[in-house]
Structure 1
């Protein structure tokens, strides 16, 4: 840490400690305020034009029966996002976040043309990774670019904080595989019920993923692993996290799928963690292990397992409260 950075951190801590409260009395909010101020390198951080970016893509592996829902639900849910009827729409409206939905790989077309929907389709779903890599290197790179492009676009509109969500039937499978590779956890600790598999379905899912993991175990490069066993929407989130870090933006991390993207991003650039706020602990098996890997304490534990970025939208008011405390709360000088 440089001398100037140390000086800034000392000044921020002094401001927090001299607020009209006992020392440390606002707990995690004080930690959040310090983190956000350091991300923006200022004693008076600003949360402006907050955005939720939701990337959608289908998965060839869904043909192996790894999800309780059919693959065409992805297309229907994206239409629901566009129409404003999904949980993430409700929570974003409630808490003042701008929602931007991006099709990077849905197996279906959309006639809708709205400012909140971006068509960036790379291919209509990944390939079945049981038989071949999910993406080529070029397709994976294009998905990374999609995330980077959208993040740069919202920053140009004065956005300083961004959350990432996803939609893709079957995407807990690539997330579990990425978790297995990047955390070194046994695969059975990474695989969960996803959208609601019964015991037989869970056993089948684990069997399929064991086959896939063995097929690509020789890969060591993070981008090659992502291309072989990831998803287009996951790769887009990876790109978004990397770009948001470069742009000194605050990053809201959602649940199991988004955190698997963070595993890849962190392998490519360890500095991304400084910008990340872990919003909630998913009820999906394995997410707690992911959070432990990052030594992360999530803001919320609500047994959510929906995805879409819903945990980010629900946690955002706590982030606002932390910044409001730092900027608006009086100091002991008034007493």
Structure 2
């Protein structure tokens, strides 16, 4: 299977040269904090001492999940379709941010349940009319799992042809925090009560109902630490497609900026499937969703921002673009001690 193939190797020699340059800039070593590592890791991935994030791709995968039938979300399933139309009309948070940073944007229908009006701007890679209700049966079969993974790969192939240097994946799907939470419970060995949050804003009673639905499903399937099986059993097509996109980015040498709770769930699944994928990832922010910090801890990563966001769509990652650009700008354009004829304080 393509998703098990090796990822592109990081150019460690170039990365070390970038570190050497960073340490020679006219500042105390380490004084730019996390910005320094952002720049030098990008250098190693891109194979150039002075990296950039000038060409950005933001791709939002949209799909519906059958688990919405269990009343685990405040919103009806039709909202997924309505939000896709909002993306196309450039009225959503993610489209505003994409325009701010002049990023290429696309929304990909991998399984919206309600029929979409044929509209310019929606990429049709439908797997099915939404997944099945995992409270009753597995969310998808093996062929559907493969098709959703392939949708992610094909998205990245389009990005590669445009010379993209940074990829952001987003998602849209009513009830998909329930899907992500169930996947994480299996991959982290946690209970539903430990990881289940409010999602789009459930009250305490709603969260208790969501915990009960997820808990019964975990008892029913007992998938354990099997990422592909967890995706197949609980996933939305949009979560699976994100995991596929992350793996494909690493295989093609495209840096990844991961968004919030659901995207990080897909990232963890991708890393469990193909561990070296992690080398190509940066994590944009810690969301306000309850279980997100545990996933970040499991991955051993420190996010760039903590803004209390929980919107999804790729919005948190897009806010972090400015930080990535600043990291590159400082690394590339500051003078070294020798260039500035400044005496180093060694």
TM (norm. structure 2) is: 0.93
Q: CA deviation at 1:323?
A: 1.3
Q: Which residue of 2 aligns with 1:111?
A: 117
Q: Which residue of 2 aligns with 1:87?
A: 93
Q: CA deviation at 1:98?
A: 1.6
Q: Which of these residues, 204, 208, 219, is aligned with residue 203 of structure 1? A: 208
Moved more, 5-14 or 151-160: 5-14
Q: CA deviation at 1:219?
A: 5.6
Q: Deviations over 1:75-117 (max 9, x none)?
A: 1111100110001111111122221100001012223432x42
Q: CA deviation at 1:233?
A: 0.2
Do residues 43 (structure 1) and 49 (structure 2) align? yes
Separation in structure 2 between the aligned mates of residue 96 and residue 332 of structure 1, nearest angstrom: 34
Separation in structure 2 between the aligned mates of residue 281 and residue 255 of structure 1, nearest angstrom: 6
Q: Which of these residues, 247, 270, 278, is aligned with residue 273 of structure 1? A: 278
Separation in structure 2 between the aligned mates of residue 22 and residue 61 of structure 1, nearest angstrom: 53
Separation in structure 2 between the aligned mates of residue 219 and residue 188 of structure 1, nearest angstrom: 17
Separation in structure 1 between the aligned mates of residue 37 and residue 337 of structure 2, nearest angstrom: 19
Q: Deviations over 1:266-299 (max 9, x none)?
A: 1111111111111011101100111111111111
Q: Deviations over 1:288-311 (max 9, x none)?
A: 111111111111111111100001
CA contact (8 A) 1:107 1:124 kept: yes
Separation in structure 2 between the aligned mates of residue 49 and residue 110 of structure 1, nearest angstrom: 29
CA contact (8 A) 2:156 2:248 kept: yes
Q: CA deviation at 1:154?
A: 1.1
Alignment RMSD (CA, Å): 1.4
TM (norm. structure 1) is: 0.96
Separation in structure 2 between the aligned mates of residue 47 and residue 214 of structure 1, nearest angstrom: 44
Q: CA deviation at 1:220?
A: 5.1
Do residues 17 (structure 1) and 28 (structure 2) align? no
Q: Which residue of 2 aligns with 1:170?
A: 175
Q: Which residue of 2 aligns with 1:212?
A: 217
SS in 2 for 1:135: coil
Separation in structure 2 between the aligned mates of residue 48 and residue 155 of structure 1, nearest angstrom: 14
Q: Which residue of 2 aligns with 1:187?
A: 192
List structure 1 runs of 4+ shifted beyond 4 angstroms: none
Decide whether aligned partners of structure 1 residues 185 and 41 sit closer, same or farther in structure 2, where only a CA change above 3 A counts. farther
SS in 2 for 1:207: helix
CA contact (8 A) 1:266 1:273 kept: yes
Do residues 124 (structure 1) and 132 (structure 2) align? no
Separation in structure 2 between the aligned mates of residue 101 and residue 162 of structure 1, nearest angstrom: 14
Q: Which of these residues, 256, 263, 269, is aligned with residue 264 of structure 1? A: 269
Structure 2: runs of 5+ lacking an equivalent: 1-9, 342-346
